[in-house]
Amino acid sequence: MNPFAAALLAWFDRHGRHDLPWQRAQDHGQRDAYRVWLSEIMLQQTQVVTVVGYFERFVAALPSLPALADASEDQVLALWSGLGYYRRARFLQRAARLCVERHDGELPRDFDALAALPGIGRSTAGAILAQAHGLRFPILDGNVKRVLARYHGIHGYPGESAVEKQLWRHAEAHTPTTRTADYTQAIMDLGATVCTRARPRCDACPLAPGCTARRDDLTAVLPSPRPAKALPERETVMLVLRDARGRVLLERRGPQGVWSGLWSLPEAADHDAAWRSARRHADIDDARSLAPFTHVFSHYRLRIAPLLFEGATARRGIADNPGLRWCVAGELARLGLPAPVRKLLQQLEEPTA
């Protein structure tokens, strides 16, 4: 075993995470590929401490790949609601359905077939095969990129093709032929808990003696950050139409753009347009502006101005439109809602709202 992997595994045996819910062996004595896959998708852009609760609720409701394939999109998005990047959830279900159609309801053990599924790239496929089956495949998620960039002193933004190719070469070279599952978890754990983006704990790192960034005092600059780019800002008015029974009007978003396919509040470009839209959906008397807030996406900032129409009376025709529905508070938990919309509606239900 190479010295890099040996040092990392020795550290992992003492300090690594060994009882995460997706690590637990199932009836056949191995980790379940479905659970490993689900955790890998959830952990993209999301920390372990956040994912654990979502993961346990998800597998309680959809305990197997066929169950995920058979579920409604609303159920999947409701279970995912709050994790963000909803395309991940759609790809997850799309891949599950392809596995039912083509792979007997299981994730394929062939790397190329696995990596060809929606939402599963080279690193995710390697992580699934390494952790579920002990096969020797390297990974290169954000934590691993940071560890390798610092250890080898690699400059340049890791998202650039030339830099990523260097990192893949090192990832391949360091991955051992034995204890591959433990090594895969170990290098992710090291990046998440020791070799962190800010204030890395170099004194606790098993790789510190050979780390270029530590030797050359470069931990604050490696890996190189993404080139700065100012986020554009957009504005929208969200209509909160609530009737005498406490029901709120929701609208399913289209297949394109952010929050695609989720249930959300109707939107308008400004207050005048919001009033016109509200009158198309309900009889209304008055409106109250709620505190505006900003939601930040990866590529722009959205300034949201909620406009509350209390005592609205639904117009006829809503029942004939599958993209609109009046919902009581108890129904919201079963629907996929954008996190800021769910939070806004929950605040309206609070006694002090």
Q: Is 235 a catalytic residue?
A: no
CA 10/CA 215 separation, integer angstroms: 22
3-state per-residue secondary structure call for 296-342: ECCCCEEEEEEEEEEEEEECCCHHHCCCEEEECHHHHCCCCCCHHHH
DSSP annotation string for 152-185: HT--S-TTSHHHHHHHHHHHHHH--SSSHHHHHH
The tokens for 32 are 């379940």
CB-CB contact of 29 with 5 (8 Å): no
The structure tokens listed for 144 are 């691993």
- Between the alpha carbon of residue 343 and those of residues 82, 180, 243, 290, 329, the distances in Å are 10, 41, 19, 13, 12
Closest C-alpha to 40, from 130, 112, 111, 157:
130
**Given the residues 40, 73, 101, 349, the one annotated as active site:** 40
Question: Which position has the token pair 């759609």?
Answer: 90
- The residue among 352, 241, 247, 237 whose CA lies nearest residue 286 is 241
Under DSSP, is residue 106 helix (H, G, I), strand (E, B) or coil? coil
Q: How many CA atoms lie within 13 A of 14 on its CB side?
A: 8
**CA-to-CA separations, 57 to 62, 89, 105, 207, 244, in angstroms, rounded:** 9, 14, 21, 36, 33
The pair of structure tokens assigned to 140 is 């290169």
Residue of 61, 120, 123, 132 lying closest to 96 (CA atoms): 120
With contact defined as beta carbons under 8 Å apart, do 312 and 243 qualify? yes
Q: Across the strands, what pairs with 304?
A: 236, 293
Concatenated DSSP letters for 237-278?
A: EEEEEEETTS-EEEEE--SSSTTTT-EE--EESSHHHHHHHH
Active-site residue set: 40
